[in-house]
Amino acid sequence: MRRIISVLLENEPGALSRVVGLFSQRNYNIETLTVAPTEDETLSRLTVTTTGSDKVIEQITKQLNKLIEVVKLVDLTEGSHIERELMLVKLKATGSQRAEIKRTVDIFRGQIVDVTSSVYTVQLAGNSEKLDGFIQAVGTSGVLEVVRTGVSGIARGEKVLSL
């Protein structure tokens, strides 16, 4: 099962490599990984999406918690949550394609953020399935380049992950 684990990490050199090292060392999957500082400059927030049985996920969270620099973590998929990913896509856009792409971008509530005579660069945010859906809708033949940030997530309601 796919899980989103959100981690508050000491913002120190080497901390990230410990998290990444743990996953390869213990044979766990990383599907996406994002990390950036938070409003508290001593902390980074890291979001990792992974798959595994309940037993494996339990081990992942326990092993992560064992890392000295992991301050706190939560498995967002245990409760209701919001997840978002940002994608930038370069699409071949000539002739009649231009209008068609524009319409698809509007349907997906994306934006065209850069334009040349033959290329549109599209920005799209949403959950991972939505981004996959957009690529499917425009067709892979017109796609020149795709870059995705990986998943970020936050719990719904009053629940917060903080110190």
Partner 1 sequence: MELLSGADMLIRSLQDEGIENIYGYPGGAALHIYDALFRQDKVKHILVRHEQAAVHMADGYARATGKPGTVLVTSGPGATNTITGIATAFMDSIPMVVLCGQVASSLIGEDAFQETDMIGVSRPVVKHNLSVRHPQDIPEIIRKAYYIASTGRPGPVVVDIPKDMTSPNERYEYVYPKKVKLRSYNPAIRGHAGQIKKAVDMMLAARRPVIYAGGGVILGKATEQLTELTRLLGYPLTNTLMGIGCYPCSDKQHLGWLGMHGTYEANMAMHHSDLILAVGARFDDRVTNATEKFCPGARIIHIDIDPASISKTVEADVPIVGPVDAVLKEMLSLVKSAKTEPDAEALASWWKQIDEWRAFHGMRYETSPEVIKPQEVVEMLSRLTKGEAFVASDVGQHQMFAAQYYKFDRPNRWINSGGLGTMGFGFPAAMGVKLTHPDDEVLCITGEGSIQMNIQELSTCKQYDIPVKIINLNNQALGMVKQWQDMNYESRHSQSYMESLPDFIKLVEAYGHVGMRIDRKEDLEPKLKEALAMKDKLVFIDIYVDRFEHVYPMQVARGSMKDMWLSKTERV
As a whole number of angstroms, the distance between CA 91 and CA 105 comes to 11
Tokens at residue 56, please? 């494996």
The correct pick among 18, 90, 98, 130 for binding partner 1 (CB under 8 A) is 18
Of 69, 83, 100, 132, the residue at the interface with partner 1 (CB under 8 A) is 69
Q: What is the crossing angle of helices 97-107 and 128-138, to 10°?
A: 160
- Residue choice 65, 80, 111, 162 for contact with partner 1 (CB under 8 A): 65
Residue type, 138: V
21 binds partner 1 (CB under 8 A): yes
Note whether 160 binds partner 1 by CB under 8 A: no
CA quadruple 54, 60, 66, 72: dihedral, nearest 10? -80
Total residues interacting with partner 1, rule: CB under 8 A: 20
The gap between the terminal CA atoms of the chain, to the nearest Å, is: 28
Q: Which residue number, 62 or 116, has a Cβ lying nearer to partner 1?
A: 62
**Residue 40 or 145 having the CB closest to partner 1:** 40
Contact pick of 58, 114, 129, 145 for partner 1 (by CB under 8 A): 58
Range in contact with partner 1 (rule: CB under 8 A) among 12-20, 86-94, 106-114, 147-155: 12-20
157 Cα distance to chain centroid:
21
Minimum distance between the CB of residue 33 and partner 1, rounded to whole angstroms? 17
Q: Does 62 bind partner 1 (CB under 8 A)?
A: yes
Three-state secondary structure call for residue 113: strand
Q: What is the DSSP letter of 33?
A: E
Beta bridge partners of 143: 91
Residue ranges binding partner 1 (CB under 8 A)? 10, 13-14, 17-18, 21, 25, 55, 58-59, 62-63, 65-66, 68-72, 163
